[in-house]
């Protein structure tokens, strides 16, 4: 099924499903983003606004989505991190599941409260927002380390096995676009170096746990000079420092990244301890994430940002690898 046909059918699903929530008369929805999920802005004539997420099929189970919502709400109420709340449907459930003719499987849907703010521009000075982002990450990590997860809690894992293993979550990086023999050789070497260093780094409870796992600019909304974290759809188990790496997703080679790393670390340390040995390994997590994104671009060729970056992303990754080798030999 083409993406155009899929989106047409998803639009029909959304329009017939809005009455599952107690929304005002005249409410309508329009697509604002398509990535792993389809995201809609829901609006009504009286000024009501919300965000409806239609989940991709076969990506998260209903229990996994419920686990995401549980942590997001607990973090907002107990952890000092402002998170988007969600609405219950008329049946009392936060997760609604429905389908329409032509879709191969039912889709899960969640309606979130609308959050004011704008996505940061990577070409603007992001040093101050990244200091705040470091504080947000540290609060999230403190909370996740002490939070008693509910029974049946399940989320994905972000580690070397789910990026490089036999069944990688986003696919094999080797299937990414424009990987010639020279680039492939360089990235094979990079994979081996990352795996070796992470094995030595380990997964101690002070370094590894429940993380947001997608703190990129698209998931930050700045309002009155304060960044707000949204979209916990990829939250799961991984290294805490992976959250910094996700913050510079798709801009790992931007000239201001070293300053952003310094600022993030400074902010983090105002809330939670970060040993020098951990700080020294941040670049390894940046490269782990970069390789995951190379695989993602290869398996999401229909998504706008994948189309935009496909011609240059593999070559840029190889250049970053060369720089990484010079400091992490």
pLDDT tens sequence for the chain (329 residues): 788 899 999 999 999 999 999 999 999 999 999 988 999 999 999 999 999 999 999 899 999 999 999 999 999 999 999 999 999 999 999 999 999 999 999 999 999 999 999 999 999 999 999 999 999 999 999 999 999 999 999 999 999 999 999 999 999 999 999 999 999 999 999 999 999 999 999 999 999 999 999 999 999 999 988 889 999 999 999 999 999 999 999 999 999 999 999 999 999 999 999 999 999 999 999 999 999 999 999 999 989 999 999 999 999 999 999 999 999 97
- Whether the CB-CB separation of 210 and 79 falls below 8 Å is answered with no
Q: What pLDDT digit, counting tens, does each position of 251-310 carry?
A: 999 999 999 999 999 999 999 999 999 999 999 999 999 999 999 999 999 899 999 999
Query: Distance between CA 91 and CA 231 in Å, rounded?
Result: 24
Q: How far is CA 166 from CA 161, 169, 172, 235, 284, in A?
A: 8, 10, 8, 22, 21
Query: Distance between CA 169 and CA 161 in Å, rounded?
Result: 9
Reported as type and span, the H/E element at residue 209 is: strand 208-211
Domains of the chain (ranges; CATH) run 3-113 (3.30.200.20), 127-327 (3.90.1200.10)
Q: Which tokens belong to 173?
A: 């990086």
Q: What pLDDT digit, counting tens, does each position of 83-117 carry?
A: 999 999 999 999 999 999 999 999 999 999 999 99
């Amino acid at each position: 099924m083409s993406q155009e046909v899929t989106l047409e059918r998803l639009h029909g699903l959304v329009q017939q499903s809005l009455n599952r929530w107690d929304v005002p008369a005249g409410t309508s929805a329009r697509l604002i983003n398509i990535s792993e999920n389809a995201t809609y802005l829901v609006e009504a004539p009286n000024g009501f606004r919300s965000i409806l997420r239609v989940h991709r099929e076969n990506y998260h189970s209903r229990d996994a989505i419920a686990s995401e919502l549980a942590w997001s709400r607990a973090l907002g109420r107990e952890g000092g991190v402002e998170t988007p709340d969600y609405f219950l449907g008329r049946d009392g459930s936060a997760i609604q599941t429905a389908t329409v003719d032509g879709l191969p499987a039912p889709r899960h849907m969640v309606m979130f409260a609308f959050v004011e703010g704008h996505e940061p521009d990577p070409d603007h000075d992001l040093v101050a927002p990244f200091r705040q982002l470091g504080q947000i990450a540290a609060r999230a990590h403190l909370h996740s380390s002490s939070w008693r997860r509910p029974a049946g809690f399940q989320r994905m894992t972000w580690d070397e096995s789910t990026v490089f293993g036999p069944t990688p979550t986003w696919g094999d990086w080797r299937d990414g676009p424009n990987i010639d023999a020279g680039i492939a050789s360089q990235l094979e070497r990079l994979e081996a170096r990352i795996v070796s260093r992470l094995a030595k780094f380990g997964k101690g409870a002070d370094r590894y746990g429940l993380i947001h796992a997608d703190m990129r600019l698209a998931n930050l909304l700045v309002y009155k000079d304060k960044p707000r974290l949204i979209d916990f759809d990829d939250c799961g188990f991984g290294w805490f420092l992976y959250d910094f790496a996700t913050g510079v997703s798709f801009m790992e080679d931007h000239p201001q990244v070293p300053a952003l790393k310094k600022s993030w670390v400074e902010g983090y340390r105002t809330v939670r301890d970060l040993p020098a040995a951990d700080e020294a390994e941040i670049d390894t997590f940046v490269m782990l994430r970069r390789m995951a994104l190379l695989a993602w671009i290869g398996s999401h060729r229909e998504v706008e940002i994948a189309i935009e970056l496909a011609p240059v992303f593999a070559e840029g990754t190889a250049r970053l690898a060369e720089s990484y080798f010079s400091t992490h030999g």
